[in-house]
Homo-oligomer: A and B are copies of this chain.
Amino acid sequence: MSRKWVYRFGDGGAEGHAGMRDLLGGKGANLAEMASLGLPVPPGFTITTEVCAYFYAHERRYPDDLRAQVDEALAWLERTRGRRFGDPANPLLVSVRSGAPVSMPGMMDTVLNLGLNHATVEGLAKATDNPRFAWDSYRRFIQMYGDVVLGVEHYRFEEALDELKHAKGVRFDTDLDADDLRRLVERYEAIVREATGAPFPQDPREQLWGAIGAVFGSWMNQRAITYRRLHEIDDDMGTAVNVQSMVFGNMGDDCATGVAFTRNPSTGEKEYYGEFLINAQGEDVVAGIRTPQPLTEKMARENGRPGTSMEALMPETYAELCQVFERLERHYRDMQDIEFTIERRRLYLLQTRNGKRTAKAALKIAVDMAQEGLISREEALLRVDPASLDQLLHPTLDPKAERRVIAKGLPASPGAVSGRAVFSADEAERRAQAGEEVILVRVETSPEDIHGMHAARGILTARGGMTSHAAVVARGMGKPCVCGASDITIRHGERRFTADGVVVAEGDVITIDGATGEVMLGEVPTVEPELSGEFATLMAWADSVRRMKVRTNAETPADARTAVRFGAEGIGLCRTEHMFFQEDRIVAMREMILAHDSEGRRRALARILPMQRGDFIELFEIMAGKPVTIRLLDPPLHEFLPRREEELAEVARAAGVEPRVLARRAAELEEANPMLGLRGCRLGIVYPEIYEMQARAIFEAALEVRRRSGRTVVPEIMIPLVASARELELIKQRIDAVARAVMAEAGETLAYLVGTMIELPRAALRAGAIAEHAAFFSFGTNDLTQMTLGLSRDDAGKFLDAYRRAGIFERDPFQTLDREGVGELVRLAAERGRATRSDLKLGICGEHGGDPASIAFCEEVGLDYVSCSPYRVPIARLAAARAVLERRAACAPQPSSD
């Protein structure tokens, strides 16, 4: 029983097509597809992945009838190209390339120019009228074939090349002439003979089978195996082998080579875009020996070199190429990145693929194509990577501006900004109030720096990762931030830092780019983001598709306003502790912490109450009836006490206590693992006064706003760090009592919800019981990730890299939700919670709420909303829409693949 092992393509047709990826590999299927479209593809044939499977199932032997099928295909190829394998006058040369069903770039082997030998190299020299090129091709072929097929160590060829250059006294390969290369070939052949005990094979057919065997063999090289394990690719999939005739753009002035885009990949404008070189090979462009010429006259005119374009110089071929562009874009329904070669006026397409593009271009192309009717609006949504929108929402460095980069850290929060370096939060605030623009530079930040972070235009830290305090808060504020810039050495006492040999003193201007992590000396001009019409259009399309609501994590009026402007539909997380750090409040807060009894605490809290009420009034007014979820005090109390000796004395003086009293209290509150300590609702249980004050402030604010605006506010009060139903029950009882008291005093009624964060594994497990007392759950996936993985966000930076290199974490679990671990708990809590209370409202307010992959998970689990920092709201809107579309696609019946 014979089987078809070989599929031909080219010459106006093909035996395969794009749908045969599994059999022909990605490259083979695509070449077949282009050939079927009638596009001029250099002909060739594909040996299927089934041969690969056979190869490994039969001790690296081939099916019996493979040789006959290859011979037949080769004969067809010779006929089609009018050249013969091994023909010195007019030799057929081929490339032999791997091509698996999924892309594994650079993992497997390739051999080019196969078919060259002592005889054909001369034929090639004559045909190209370029002996140097021919001999260079041959020596490269020996080197590549020697390495890949014969296993001769690469360095031996390199050494011979170096020796020759040394002997000739030249520096570059290009300084060698044809004779030099001819001599080098002799040396190379000697190397092969020494290493293998046999001469370099002169028979093209022998060369071909050697290359085929090497490509199949490379499927199981260590590099490829590791790659597949990391990307969870099945070892049984196998690779195909593509044998394709070579074409040459360097046979004379009627030859050329080039790359082109069907639209502008930088701006997204609907215009052809590209470069080409006459009488050249693709390599020449890469080598940068000659400057490529523009594809179109528009480009040529813009460069001040009219008449140098392909459009002008090769109008007929250009016209043919334009037809190909239209054809390919219509066929693939996306902007194409095309490689072409012109061999003696004849156009060949070597490759087409969806072109890479900037975020801006992606947006414009998607919206344009939908409006042109080329793709649907849903497809347009799927064409724009939500994460890439981040680039469009912040100012960016003027690409033309000069810059002096003195350090590089992590790109923690995008946007480029300049300002005077300051080294303390207080100084930042002082200078900002005086009208200066400042960048806060700290080793790392803590909640005590919040006022300084608010005052600063950007933040730079020497320590901490992508999810350090500085990074999280900065992203929340939408402020540029570079963190973990370990190259800078901060001398806090001397108020300066050094980096790259430069000293930056307080007041010196620096620029940071939170999108790249670069720190630059002086002011670098920036350009403001243009939220073009396409942006608004795409967002509207996203809103019409998505099911989940998008809220924001915000507590300051500025953040809340920004978020509303970006389309937030409510506040999912208002962290009240951030309201306690302001100058006038922290004093009362510390007084509360130092109080000996409930009475003393109440006295101090009474001073905070009106301020806190004022905060909520402002927030409710900005949100204008949209839901607002307020989380009661969460962090451990020691975060509110000073840390450094000198500050301690100052605070003690302000609080009217002896420094040692303050020191003792601070020591009492100190914790070995603050993350797992006296915080969250535990504070509410131990010091009920705090939550009572906060509940009162919320209720009074809601009533006040209703009085002022006539608009009903239904506050959602959220209790953090709940581990058991009983905790929530107790705290809810107290909140309900405060509500009754406030209503009685006001003589008015008031609606409100009490719910909880689900951020401890136990809370997820006990969600059924907890839901008895909760109107909503909000998944605090930052802490849930920390607890589930036993991994501190602040400390993980030290080994996350090693973990990623070892393939343990594919992605940072603090950026993208760990579906298998944390995700199972989220899913389980959602199910158990809803089993108890079918109308339970479910949301997420961890950093993951702004991460597209995590948002897709939230859609799968059926959450009601995601909440993220203001600048990520548009990202979340798009991601939520895409999540719906992706689920729809996953659920739709699949067309059968045969």
Contacts and interface: CB of A to CB of B under 8 A. Distances in A.
A790 interface: yes
- For chain A, give the interface size range: 35 or more
Interface string A749-782: 0000000000111100110000000000000000
Contacts of A682: 799, 803
Given A676-B675, A730-B806, A795-B677, A820 B723 contact: no
B726 A792 contact: no
A723 to B, nearest CB: 5
A68 interface: no
Given A685-B808, A788-B787, A795-B678, A761 B821 contact: yes
Interface in A31-69: none
A674 interface: yes
A200 to B, nearest CB: 39
Interface in A53-106: none
Contacts of A821: 723-724, 761-762, 765-766
Interface in A658-686: 671-678, 682, 685-686
A802 interface: yes
A824 interface: yes
Interface string A795-830: 110110011001110000000001011101100000
A555 to B, nearest CB: 23
Contacts of A721: 790
A807 B723 contact: no
Contacts of A766: 820-821
A558 interface: no
B825 A761 contact: yes
A588 B423 CA distance: 39
Given A682-B799, A799-B682, A676 B792 contact: yes
B791 A790 contact: no
A802 B686 contact: yes
A794 interface: yes
Contacts of A795: 671-674, 676-678
A792 B761 contact: no
Interface in A667-712: 671-678, 682, 685-686
Interface in A475-529: none
A727 interface: yes
Given A808-B727, A821-B761, A786 B676 contact: yes
A671 B724 CA distance: 28
A678 B674 CA distance: 16
A859 interface: no
A824 to B, nearest CB: 5
16 contacts: A672-B795, A673-B676, A673-B792, A673-B794, A676-B792, A677-B796, A678-B798, A682-B803, A730-B806, A761-B761, A761-B790, A762-B821, A765-B788, A765-B820, A787-B787, A787-B788
Q: Which 7 A-B pairs have the closest CB atoms?
A: A676-B792, A762-B821, A677-B795, A673-B792, A672-B794, A761-B761, A760-B790
Given A723-B789, A762-B788, 10 more contacts: A676-B790, A677-B792, A685-B799, A685-B802, A726-B808, A730-B808, A760-B790, A762-B820, A765-B788, A766-B820
